[in-house]
Structure formats: structure tokens, C-alpha cells
Amino acid sequence: IAKLYYFVQKEIRYVSIKGSLGTGLSGHPASETFEKRYGDCVDKAVLLSTMLKVIGVEAYPVSVNTNDSDRAPVEIPSIYSNHAITEVHLNGEVFYLDSTSTYYRYPYFRADDQGIPVINEIKGTINEIPVMPPEHNWNMYSLTMELNENGDAVITEKNNYHGEYEAGLKDYYSYYSSDEMRRQIFRNMANDFAPGAEFEYYKMSPIDYETPFSMEYKFKVNGYPFIADDLFILNPRPKKFEFPEIAGSTRRYPIEYNTSQRTDNKVELIIPENFSVRYLPPKFSYKDDYVEYNAEFKVEGKKILYSDTFKRFKRIIPAKDYKKYREVLLRIQEYSADTIILQKTGGEER
């Protein structure tokens, strides 16, 4: 299934040559799309479903209205849809694949296909595509920072991705494919982390359909902490949480995301021998129906270890729940911006 999914994503170009409502809603024969190596969403859904049936997997082209548009009415017969994907029935389970995009690693599929009705015209059924778990849209940031007594830092960041983020980055770096282009991108990322950073190197996993996407880069920063006498004040997190969608104190309408989200941070901070830990933010733990957040700093010898996990489970946040939702995200945002304080050994306690 995965290999056929990758084939239709990669080898069948998205091209629509249709001139009426009837042809737009119907597809070309699978053999024609296969031979010509192009088609629109309906053509791709028909081809993938046909190829899956050839290997003995029950599959159907199905119609949806993507969640960046309005919700398709299903209470009355209609032809209200703007997209076609593939419905797969396997071992008693039903799941969905969307071969119109590129670089989605099986079984991930587009975020705008989630949390919406799906119409299977062949079987005469209407189902709801669920919002995938946060792990289907997952960013993992891992950072190692070594500080010296002057405040200079050597930083290595390693990132891994799943789902929507992974597909988007593979597509992005397949376009910016030259080494010099990529080096400039990573230089910019290093300077976003700390202005004036001296970029050293980057590494990246192969951009293909089966390999999980990961990347690593290293840079140096002169005087990274804010230094106040014998104190180092810094925030070592690679990802600081910001939520621009909660800027307003009230809302009349729901917040609508495309899908769920998970973001993890892990930090290993190696501090100078002649420094001790003066302050660490306290442990943070929270969970409700919409959000879960857990974060903690630990000290092991001359290392400060930090980890956090942010999960958002729902796609839609109703206006009636906005006040509480906003309060929680503001707390997470504030915690994410908090700093740690190191003190030179022998410095006067204040």
C-alpha cells in the first residue's frame, strides 16, 4: 500500500484538463491516468483505488470538502465537494490516503482532509474522517548547548518530524536543493536562535518517501546568556511557544485549525565547572480536553536537562471555551519564555 501511495504521489503529476461540472466530478479511466502520468484529484483517487484493488485491498475514490472551506452538507443529496481522496478498507479498519500532494509518508495524509464528512458514492455511505492523533503532526526538537565561563556557547540542534510538518519540509528542501541554498537557510535559522551566530555545518536525511525526515545543524554564539555581574540568565529552549491566535481577549467564532499538533523540546545544557544553578522554572503539568502540556528541568552534575511536550487534540475550539483555552495557552507561552539563572561559584547570593 505504501509503495503504491508513493508512486501516485510522485509519478502522477497534478494536472487538471476538464471543462465542465460533470467532467470535474468524474475521473478518467485509471489506465489513461497511468499511461499519461498526470491527472487531478479525482483521477489520482481513481488510479490509487484501482491499483490497491489489483493487490487485493478494498479501496474507493471518495469525495470531501476540505476543512479550509465550509463544511459540506450531508443531510440532503448534493454534489458539494472540492476534493477527492482514497478510502481504504483493510483488516476491518477504514482509513484515508490523499495522493494529490507529495512526500506524505504512509500512513500520513493532508491535514485539510481531517475532521470532515466523506462521501463514498460507490458504497452509498457517509462517514466522518477523524482528526488524527497529535503524533501524526509531530515536531521533535533536540538541542545540546555547551557553555564556557565567558558565556560563549556551542550549540547543536537535531530535529525530527512526522506528518504535515515532515511533508512540508521535504517539499521545501526538494525545491531549495543546492548546498549553498540550504547552508544559507541554516545560517538564518542559527541567527534566529541567536543573532551573530557562527554557523558550522548542517546535515539532512535523504528526501524520499520512506525515510523519516530529520536534520541537524551546529553553530557557535559569543556571549549567549545575558550576563549580570556573576549571573548567567538564558532561555535554552529551541522552540518557544507562541500562539498568535489568542491575541484577542474574546471571540465570537471558533478557532479552526487544520488538524492536531504535537511539539517536543529536549535540551542538554552543559554548564561551566565554576558555575552552579541559581534558579530553574518549576515543573509544569496540565491537561484538559483540548491541550496537554508537561515540562520539567532537572540537574545532573554539570548538566541541566529540560524536556517538554505540548499536545493539542482538537481541530476546532468553540467560542464558548475560548476564555479558558486562552488562559491555558497564555500560561504555556509565559512558561516557555521563562529563563534559567546560573551563578559563578563563590558569587554572593542576592
Residue-level pLDDT at 17: 80
Amino acid symbol at 298 = K
Residue-level pLDDT at 348: 53
CA angle 31, 32, 36 (to 5 degrees): 120
How far, in Å, CA of 100 to CA of 110, rounded? Answer: 9
Cell of 39: 491527472
Per-residue pLDDT, averaged over 219-227, amounts to 95
Residue-level pLDDT at 121: 93
Residues 256, 259, 143, 207, CA torsion sign: negative
Q: What is the DSSP letter of 132?
A: P
Give the pTM: 0.92
- 229 within 8 A of 201, measured Cβ to Cβ: no
- 74 within 8 A of 18, measured Cβ to Cβ: no
pLDDT in tens, 124-182: 999 999 999 999 999 999 999 999 999 999 999 999 999 999 999 999 999 999 999 99
- 192 within 8 A of 239, measured Cβ to Cβ: no
Parallel, antiparallel, or unpaired: how do β-strands 153-162 and 83-90 relate?
A: unpaired
pLDDT at 32 > cutoff 60? yes
How far, in Å, CA of 46 to CA of 113, rounded? Answer: 17
pLDDT at 347 > cutoff 60? no
How far, in Å, CA of 127 to CA of 295, rounded? Answer: 37
How far, in Å, CA of 53 to CA of 167, rounded? Answer: 26
**Residue whose C-alpha is closest to residue 135's, from 239, 259, 299, 306:** 259
Q: What is the DSSP letter of 219?
A: E
What is the edge-to-edge ordering of all strands in the sheet holding 226-228? 226-228, 231-234, 340-344, 275-279
Element spanning 90, H or E: strand 83-90
Cell of 44: 489520482
At residue 63, the 3 state secondary structure works out as strand
Per-residue pLDDT, averaged over 255-283, amounts to 96
How far, in Å, CA of 201 to CA of 187, rounded? Answer: 9
How far, in Å, CA of 341 to CA of 226, rounded? Answer: 10
- 131 within 8 A of 260, measured Cβ to Cβ: yes
The DSSP-derived string for 241-288 is: ---GGG-SS--SS-EE-SS-EEEEEEEEEEPPTTEEEEE-PPPEEEE-
pLDDT at 350 > cutoff 50? no
pLDDT in tens, 16-31: 887 777 777 788 999 9
pLDDT in tens, 275-333: 999 999 999 999 999 999 999 999 999 999 999 999 999 999 999 999 999 999 999 99
pLDDT at 349 > cutoff 70? no
Residue-level pLDDT at 230: 94
Rounded to the nearest integer, the mean pLDDT of the chain is 94
Helices (DSSP H) in the chain: which residue ranges?
Answer: 2-11, 21-25, 30-36, 41-54, 163-175, 179-193, 322-336
* Helix count and strand count (H, E) for the chain: 7, 21
